[in-house]
Every structure is written in C-alpha cells, then in structure tokens.
Amino acid sequence: GYFYQRVAECRFSSKDLQGIEFIDSYVFNQAEHVRFNSTVGKFVGYTEHGVKNAEAFNKGPELARELGELERYCKQHAPIYY
C-alpha cells in the first residue's frame, strides 16, 4: 500500500507575532516530497516528483492559499498557544 500524509504546523519562536512560522509538509511513503514554509514564501520540492509539484504549486492558486494560512490559522491561535 501507499502512505500519504499532510502535516500543517505553526512554529512559535517568540511571543511577538512576527516570530510565527507556518509549515505545510506533504509526505508520501514516509518521505517528505514538498514543503511550504511561510518564511521562504513558496513551496520547495525535496524529490524529483516534489520539485515538479512545487513548481506547479508556486504558479497556481495553491501559493496564495498557503500564504493566507499564517494570518488565518497561526496568528489567530497564538493566544491559545501562549
């Protein structure tokens, strides 16, 4: 069988809202192949297939959706975390 997993997380490095990082990882068969990092501001591929997906995601509506997740999800939940 195949194993697919998507992990989205907020990393809080300080109490300042500028120190929040949103990471969205796409894992296939226990190997991460694509990751969005709000600090980098784009998708990055780690495998041959992941590089192709990252290029497509960075040109499509996926990038705009991911850029909004830092504001929508992470900053909204920061008070709960702290």
pLDDT at 36 over 80: yes
d(CA 9, CA 68): 14
* Number of domains, the chain: 1
pLDDT per residue as tens digits for the range 43-82: 999 999 999 999 999 999 999 999 988 888 888 877 776 6
Contact 23, 11 (CB under 8 A): yes
Range of the structural domain that residue 65 is part of:
4-80
The CATH number of the domain where 41 resides is what? 3.10.320.10
